[in-house]
């Protein structure tokens, strides 16, 4: 929930002046909902931070997948830590959203991650794997090309704490192991992003970790120049 309309226009101008073309990398932008229509009409890869699983109806304040697709939205986030913690989206809601999005062949970034209290009890691996198992129940291997996973260590976002390479590698390996268990060989092709306060200072170390296929970038994306530095390091 950042940037006003004039600031978004400036951000978009700066973003579009940078060279994002690549045969091996993809960039997506997930702005506030009120800017989706204007940005989707002028740049590729625009996604929504949230949506409602129902196709239409009396859900005041919500937007549907069909509405998003009608304005050119490319993909959606599901299960972001703030949606889970602040807006009380439980596993059932997240699983319902997953089913709805993949039925519409809408690319998804599915977020997962643990709080500090979970990590301190050494239950972080099983906690994240259970989050993913719940969200991915009933998903077929043929649907995995629309799926990306993003690991968010909640304890390392805006807290001053940082996940180190060993911690990142451990969790991404555990996520890959689960994806292979659920989807067989198709699980190897599902990208796993890291989303724990990635910035210009730690990007190289993060991207060097095995199974890290990109980043879910928060505050660092508000400056297109810094965002581009992360792109170049990937």
Active site residue 130: no
Beta-strand runs (E) in 59-168: 75-78, 108-112, 147-151
Rounded to the nearest 5°, which phi and psi values hold at 182? -80, -40
Active-site hit among 52, 74, 80, 172: 80
Active site residue 232: no
Cβ contact 199:193 at 8 Å: no
Can you say whether residue 158 is alpha, beta or left, with left for phi > 0 and alpha for psi between -120 and 50 degrees? left
Active-site hit among 89, 114, 152, 211: 152
Following DSSP, what letter does each residue of 180-199 receive, concatenated?
HHHHGGGGGGS-EEE-SS--
- CA terminus-to-terminus distance, the chain: 26
Active site residues: 80, 152
């Amino acid at each position: 929930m950042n940037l006003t309309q004039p600031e978004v226009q400036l951000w978009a101008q700066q973003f579009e002046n940078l060279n994002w073309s690549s045969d091996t990398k993809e960039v997506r932008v997930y702005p506030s909902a009120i800017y989706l229509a204007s940005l989707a009409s002028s740049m590729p890869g625009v996604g929504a931070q949230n949506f409602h699983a129902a196709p239409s109806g009396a859900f005041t304040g919500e937007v549907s997948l069909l509405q998003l697709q009608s304005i050119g939205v490319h993909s959606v986030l599901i299960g972001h830590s703030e949606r889970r913690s602040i807006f009380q989206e439980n596993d059932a809601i997240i699983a319902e959203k997953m089913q709805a999005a993949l039925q519409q062949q809408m690319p998804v970034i599915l977020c997962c991650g643990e709080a500090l209290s979970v990590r301190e009890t050494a239950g972080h691996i099983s906690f994240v794997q259970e989050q993913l198992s719940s969200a991915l129940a009933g998903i077929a291997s043929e649907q995995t090309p629309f799926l990306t996973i993003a690991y968010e260590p909640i304890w390392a976002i805006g807290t001053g704490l940082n996940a180190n390479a060993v911690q990142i590698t451990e969790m991404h390996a555990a996520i890959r192991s689960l994806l292979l268990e659920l989807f067989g060989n198709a699980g190897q092709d599902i990208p796993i992003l890291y989303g724990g306060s990635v910035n210009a200072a730690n990007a190289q170390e993060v991207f060097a970790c095995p199974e890290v296929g990109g980043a879910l970038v928060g505050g660092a994306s508000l400056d297109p120049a810094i965002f581009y530095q992360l792109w170049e390091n990937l």
